[in-house]
Amino acid sequence: MPAHSLTLVRNCDATLARARCRYLSLQKRLGLLWLTLGKAAPELLAFCASMVMLLLGFAFLAHLSFGANLPEFYQFSTSIATLLRMSMGDFGYERLSSTRPALVGIFFVSYMVLMFLICLNVVIAILSKYYDIVHEELKTSDKWKLNVVTVDSQLLQHAMLFLRRRCTCCFRSCLIPTAM
């Protein structure tokens, strides 16, 4: 498949994904998800920037420490890719420990604890905070709908009152108030 065809397919897929996201917001619960992500975006972006800086620091340390012995860390870019794979569970601890056994334990534990446990929990905390905020906003914005009298409900009330007054076989006259 030529490269321009792949680009066309990717652009169509991105357009369809954007349209799907727009229509998902019509459903109330999925709209809550998109509103939460929208409100949390500035804080998530700031946190992601600090997370990228932390990842770059670990990649630089891994490149300097293990780059001479392991091909996964020869270049800085491959060090970043290897560390991201390590975050997903694809790591060769034995190969790392064979190169620098004194450093690998400290490096591995600190990287996994900082990047996986702490950063993931911070992202969850940010999303949880903004979910609560958006959920409360939606609950308070929906309360006005309960008290508003619409044209349809007024017409229905007047029609029922008219039928109660006129039709004696269906509605008992003792239940109808005479003054309106």
Position 129 scores a pLDDT of 96
pTM higher than 0.85: no
Task: Compute the distance between CA of residue 64 and CA of residue 75 in angstroms, rounded to an integer.
Answer: 10
CA 2, CA 100: separation in Å to the nearest integer?
45
- What pLDDT does 155 receive? 75
**Cβ-count burial 137-168 (b if 16+ within 10 Å, e if not):** eeeeeeeeeeeeeeeeeeeeeeeeeeebeeee
Residues 22-65 have pLDDT tens digits of 666 566 667 788 889 889 999 999 999 999 999 999 999 999 99
Query: Distance between CA 104 and CA 111 in Å, rounded?
Result: 10
Residue 174: pLDDT above 80?
A: no
Helix%, strand%, coil% for the chain, nearest 5:
85, 0, 15
Helix 119-147 / helix 28-66 crossing angle, nearest 10 deg: 170
What pLDDT is attached to residue 180? 47
Span 121-145, mean pLDDT?
87
Per-residue pLDDT of 52-110, as tens digits, reads: 999 999 999 999 999 888 899 999 999 999 999 988 888 888 888 888 888 998 999 99
Amino acid symbol at 152? D
CB atoms under 10 Å from CB of 55, counted, come to 19
Nearest to 66 by CA among 94, 33, 35, 32: 94
Residue 15's pLDDT is 76
Q: What is the rounded distance in angstroms from the CA atom of residue 50 to the CA atom of residue 84?
A: 15
**Which has the higher per-residue pLDDT, 78 or 139?**
78
Confidence at 150, pLDDT banded by 50, 70, 90: low
End-to-end, the C-alpha distance of the chain in Å comes to 76
Q: Shortest CA distance to 87 belongs to which of 119, 131, 57?
A: 119
Q: Which residue is it, tokens 């066309």?
A: 8
Residue 74: what pLDDT? Answer: 92
pLDDT of residue 92: 80
Q: What would the pLDDT profile of 125-135 be if each residue is shown by its tens digit?
A: 999 999 999 98
